[in-house]
Structure 1
Amino acid sequence: MIVKRRVLPGLPLSLGITLVYAAIIIVLPLIALVFKAASLGPADYWRIISSDRAVASYVVTISCAFVATVFNLVFGLALAWVLVRYRFPGRRIIDALVDLPFALPTAVAGISLTTLFAVNGWFGGPLSALGIKVAYTPLGIMIAMAFTSLPFVVRTVQPVLEELDPTLEEAAQTLGGSDLSIFARVVLPLLTPALLAGVSLSFARSLGEFGAIIFIAGNQPFETEITALLAFIRLEEYDYPASAAIASVMLIAAFVMLAVTNLLQARALRYTVRN
């Protein structure tokens, strides 16, 4: 008699542990946030999230996160391409440095970036001489966001690049395709689902980043104040409902972004399989 083994031995126990962990670490904090925000009446909730200062913080956060994500899309794809397709001295060091933002405390990253890009810093001094100010401007926020979220794009695209079948590119070359056309018509469609995943994670991390930004941003209302900082300020003022209301806006934005990204990923995957 052949005994059919389960794919995952001990599934009930492991599934139970997973669900308990998810409930305590993920679901309960979100429920607490929603209930705290719901303690406000509709009028008060709308007044808080639509105030001029809150709207300005949304604009700063979303615009800076968008620019940082576009930069990570281009630079992260190029970096992943170089790490996979080329062998050169120092490659392993660069590959290890990609994960540095994961290991480095965000506050340390913020202090380091502020030191580098201040007017008297190594990078800030020459840039200041050219009339470009980075620290305590939206540009500094973008750099901090790009620094902390770059690994998401690289590490999402890199394994897909490593698994690409080289015969596809070779076949395109035999048909007379140029390097640019091969990349655009053969490689890029296969990378699109991974790129969308990496970009969505990068954008979400940028929206929620706090420690690396507050040191380099200057934190001036209506200019360089991000939404996470405004929620923290309300928390320090013991205005918990207002803090929860502001945080709920970013939570809704994150859920909408993830839903749209999953839809685009599914469509890109169907297109790749069909073609």
Structure 2
Amino acid sequence: MRNRAMPGFGLSLGITLAWLGGIVLLPLAALAWKAGSLGPTAWWAQIGTRRVLHALQLSFGGALVAAAIDVLLGLLLAWVLVRYRFPFRRLCDALVDLPFALPTAVAGIALTALYAPNGWIGSLLQPLGIQVAYTRIGVLLAMVFVGLPFVVRTLQPVIESMEHEVEEAARTLGATRWQSFRRVLLPMLMPTLLTGFALALARAVGEYGSVIYISGNLPMRTEIVPLLIVQKIDTGGDTGPAAVLGAVMLAASLFVLMAVSLLQRWNRRWTEVG
């Protein structure tokens, strides 16, 4: 009888696949089936309106911009937390996980209280003609807030594993700090940056609680698709229109994640060849 590396592998695999199918695959299949049962006319009636198109543009466009900002801020924050020692460093490191533990509705209320025209920060920006709450800037801010920890926590272990000798070797060869970072460190971090980008993007696209409070939910201005899905279920009681919007978001999210995965493979091959 052949020995297995893990006792009970067959049973463990079966339980894992059963849970994966019941929790992930089955709901997605039900969503696709419900949306697919409707005809093209019903699809166009739901996604062809200006209100829905504006919401799709804001949800995915805002998520892309927020994920790009999260990559820049997350790289800077992760680098500082790993490479530098300063007072209250452990406290700052713990605060990174705050969006994970904080309920999204509480985060939305807190951001609104800060950036509303009568809030602590909003009252300072108001004389300058800058309004954050109830605008697309507020939506972008909420998306950046919830996605930043994914980039930081993805980058931290990779930065910790990078040897300082690589940077020292680049400097001995005459490279400046910027050249050593751009030509040596950045290619090593690129696959992880793309992973963090994908995680932040997926989090921002599906965000609901923190966005609806600071956005103001103004039609064709600050509405997001998850809000329209909830509204269609609450008002009509029919899950068909909501399933159509959910299927569109699912297809777009899968397309973006596949594109990021292809970019990761291309970058890995390019790095190996280089």
Normalised by the size of structure 2, how large is the TM-score? Answer: 0.97
Q: Tell me the equivalent position of 1:201.
A: 199
Q: Secondary structure at the match of 2:85?
A: coil
Correspondence 1:167 to 2:165: yes
Q: Secondary structure at the match of 1:203?
A: helix
Q: After superposition, give the CA deviation of every residue in 1:181-237 in whole Å (9 maximum; x if it has no partner).
A: 000000000000000000011011101000010111010110000011011111112
Q: Tell me the equivalent position of 2:260.
A: 261
Q: Tell me the equivalent position of 1:86.
A: 84
Q: Tell me the equivalent position of 1:271.
A: 270
For residues 57-72 of structure 1, the aligned pairs below 5 Å read 57-72=55-70
Distance 1:64 1:156 in 2: 21
Distance 1:73 1:128 in 2: 29
The Cα shift of 1:167 comes to 1.6
Q: After superposition, give the CA deviation of every residue in 1:225-263 in whole Å (9 maximum; x if it has no partner).
A: 001101111111213100010111110011001111111
Q: How much identity, in percent, do the aligned residues show?
A: 50
Distance 1:172 1:4 in 2: 50
For residues 62-211 of structure 1, the aligned pairs below 5 Å read 62-211=60-209
Distance 2:184 2:161 in 1: 14
Correspondence 1:27 to 2:25: yes
For residues 183-262 of structure 1, the aligned pairs below 5 Å read 183-237=181-235, 238-262=237-261
Distance 1:44 1:266 in 2: 38
Distance 1:39 1:85 in 2: 54
Report the more deviating stretch, 130-139 or 5-14. 5-14
The Cα shift of 1:271 comes to 2.0
User: Structure 2: any 5+ residue segments left out of the alignment?
Assistant: none
The Cα shift of 1:4 comes to 7.5
Q: Quickly say closer, same or farther: Cα 1:132–1:181, change in 2 above 3 A.
A: same
Q: After superposition, give the CA deviation of every residue in 1:91-122 in whole Å (9 maximum; x if it has no partner).
A: 11111111110111101100111111111111
Distance 1:183 1:135 in 2: 37
Aligned length: 273
Report the RMSD for the aligned CA atoms in angstroms.
Answer: 1.3
